[in-house]
Amino acid sequence: MRAVAMRRSVLSASAISLALLVTACGGGSQGSGDAPAKGAPGPGKTAAKALTADELAKLMVTEGDVEGHEVGEPGKGEVSDPNSVSAERAECEPVARVLTSLPAGEPVASVQRLVVHETEAAGKGMPSVEELAGMTEKEAEEATIDSLDITKTMTSLWSYDADGAEQSLAALREAGGKCAGGFTMTADGEEQHITGISEEKLAVGEDAVAWTVATKSDGTAADTKVVVFRQGTTLAGFSSFNIASVARGEAYGQPTAVIEAQAAKLG
């Protein structure tokens, strides 16, 4: 999930929440492009070919594949400009890229979908001024945060020639280890501090990397869940963010329903 866009959503929602509380209480599919194949096939073997963008689109999760989730094309503001993403330390750039839902390495083709899950409370929307007026300040605060309990997961499929997927995942894992203590990155002109990368165990695909990436920006701390797994010549990437968890300062789990649904479609 594009962290910059999500942070703007949180700040906007927080501003609305504050206004309501005062009144009540009186007081982000990518196209394909040619890329050189990485590695070479062994003797007597044929080089594995990357899937095309059209082929990837048929394997991407779609509406109805994940119960209780909405699946759609990401909006323009939810996808970072690849040229705007950088890390102060070059070895950390692979982490910065997947954190902002950009591809690991250089795929031949890619597609993306935004998968959204909201709780029943969030589905009801922000409490009205009248509803808030009948609550205590604590109840009003909780009801407002409940309305923001929405998890957004940017889901990506990236396809590579030969052993490109394996090499890209290996490079990503190495970057995560080297940069686990944190680093500073920039995306779309906004600076963001990665304060730590915690590895998680996740058995999916032929190989996988799973992290909780802790960030801090404008004084706001937040966690983003990042998963990249490999199936053949394809990598599936997930960057997930829960808005309410920022306000509560609480941990939340990996978007396992989305990950499992995508793994099933890749076979």
pLDDT digits (tens, 9 = 90+) for 64-77: 999 999 999 998 88
Provide the residue range defining the domain that includes 95.
3-30+47-266
Between the alpha carbon of residue 35 and those of residues 42, 49, 84, 108, 186, the distances in Å are 20, 12, 20, 5, 25
Beta bridge partners of 109: 159
Per the domain annotation, does 184 fall within a domain? yes
**For the domain that residue 229 is a member of, what is the CATH number?**
3.40.1000.70
Per the domain annotation, does 36 fall within a domain? no
Per the domain annotation, does 248 fall within a domain? yes
Per the domain annotation, does 82 fall within a domain? yes
Per the domain annotation, does 42 fall within a domain? no
Per the domain annotation, does 57 fall within a domain? yes
Per the domain annotation, does 39 fall within a domain? no
Q: For every one of its 267 residues, what pLDDT tens digit does the chain have, with 9 covering 90 and above?
A: 444 444 444 434 443 343 333 333 443 344 434 443 334 444 444 568 899 999 999 999 999 999 999 999 998 888 889 999 999 999 999 999 999 999 999 999 999 999 999 988 888 888 888 888 888 888 888 888 888 899 999 999 999 999 999 999 999 999 999 999 999 999 999 999 999 999 999 999 999 999 999 998 888 889 999 999 999 999 999 999 998 887 788 888 899 999 999 999 998
Structurally, the chain folds into a number of domains equal to 1
The radius of gyration of the chain from alpha carbons, rounded to an integer in Å, stands at: 20
Helix (H) or strand (E) holding 113: strand 109-118
Strand 220-231 and strand 234-242: the pairing is antiparallel
Pick the closest to residue 231 from 113, 59, 73, 45 (CA basis).
59
| DSSP 8-class letter at 149 | -
Q: At what angle do helices 137-146 and 3-25 cross, to 10 degrees?
A: 150
- Dihedral angle sign, alpha carbons of residues 142, 146, 147, 151: positive
Per the domain annotation, does 37 fall within a domain? no
Half-sphere exposure at residue 115, Cβ-oriented, CA atoms within 13 angstroms: 27
